[in-house]
Chain A
Amino acid sequence: MSADVQLDNVWVKFGDFVAVRDASLTIQGGEFFSFLGPSGCGKTTLLRAISGFQHPSTGRILIGGKDMFGIGPNRRPTALIFQNLALFPLMTVWQNISFALEVKGMDKRARRKKADELLELVALPGQGDKMVTELSGGQKQRVAVARALCAEPEVLLLDEPLSALDLKLRQHMRTELRAIQQRAGITFIYITHDQGEALTMSDRVAVMRQGVVDQIGDGTTVYDHPETAFVASFVGENNSFTGTVTEITDGLAYVQTECGLMRSRTSSAAPLRKGDDAVVFVRPESIHFCGDDTRRDENGLVATLAHQEFEGHFWHLALKTESGHDIRMSVMNDGRSEVHEIGASVSVGFSTQGAIALAPGELAAD
């Protein structure tokens, strides 16, 4: 069973400090939904509000259409996986997993059976009698998932559960979690500051900034069609050029920047007008070498190659324009790209579709 989760104008304040500001959104039943944002932006606070550990200062939270006001965490159809897992160190693995059933007063044999089934589900068969301290990080992770699933929640809440794992294991657990979610068929609300995690696993992502939900959409929407400067700079890498809009025609913006006039697409959700300040965002992979023949629909720049890094399938290049602006660019290592010496003057370009002009705003810290 899965339930939808609806937030209506939820605010969470700690004294004068606003941790969550006016969050309104609906998470569908059975959806894998992620909150993505930098550290301290209020993700955990929002999750704690959904699970019932934190009262919203104002606003309503509905789970399965039912207002959760005044319902404690032990009586909500949610289960929370904590940032540090919070397994019970003095219990065995199977006792940990079946704790929710022990609470319901189920007898020991049935509990053990259910725990073994869940161990099977999270690919840890036969490990029930170990103590949790005897498990590896990834195994603890799975036990935490099993323990939460055992409560048969309609909504599973996960607070950066993979952050303590090393890269390889993290990537493996992503697929694993996604598979478990599909098998269990329940709503997953996942919190992370790792965009790779959010983009690969989720049906939809909500990008948060200082307590505000900036944009909600699936991975490609958030990546390709950012609506705020923060989303553009936080999700994936982006070059930014600040300037002023000189003209808007056919949904294209002409922006006069310190690196010359640029033409780019705009966001329909955040339209710009002539004379507005604007920031043009260009992804490193949208920039390419263009020799001498800059095509007419493209934007061209001349810069010096300052630094380059080889990363197997990509070259990461750092350029500096005459005006002193740093530009990052990625070139596919397919043997067809030009090779340049450090210090060489190169001319690069990007298409109008490879750039987007947005209203200026807070940028994510690098």
Chain B
Amino acid sequence: MIDLKELTQAISDLNEEKAFQILQEFVAQHPSQEDVRKIIAACQQGMIFVGEMFDSDDYFVADLIFAGELMSRAVEILKPVIYRTNTKNIGTIVLGTVEGDMHDIGKNIFKCMAEAAGFAVHDLGVDVEPQKFVLKVKEVEPQIVAMSAVLTVAQRAMKNTVEALKKAGLRDKVKIIIGGNHITEYSCERIGADAFTTTASEGVSICEKWVLGASLHFAAPACLNKDGKSLQSL
């Protein structure tokens, strides 16, 4: 069996050559499903470290984009051996950049980190109309709807999406988180989301708290930060 720590390290160092080499050797060994699970966990751990290093200002946006690319290539390499593996799935997220907005860098970073944390993420892409969110939510019944936007105008689209979910009778079945660098407590309240953030890693913590922590059906209309505090009380 290969050295998992070394793999985690290679990924968190963004050393793709090394990481790919380890993964290719691994695939060539016809690994057991248990080993596949372990190796995926090691990759995810590497991504979690990348996220932490972004929080501590050791990595910057280009590094996160690079890490995202590295992870998708890693998954490509592993594909032939992961088809039967149930990796840990802690919850389901429907994600998209909302209508009118084409910016997807932040969304993709969040997606990558959420997947590393064990979420199954259904990514609807950019410029996603409210109805598309509604249809996907009906189809995959996620616990969480996550919306991204960096354009100020997109706040309206976020609100429309929340309204559309309400109209379809789905609002109470999901938690809604919104992200993007201009999102504030006020916009969160206006939009009617459950939480907001301006960093992907905080977003992941909030989602983890939702699915691993309290029941999803508690009524909490105010916007929450990751400690679960109402922002109005902060």
Q: Do A and B interact with each other, yes or no? A: no
Residues of A within 8 A of B (CB): none
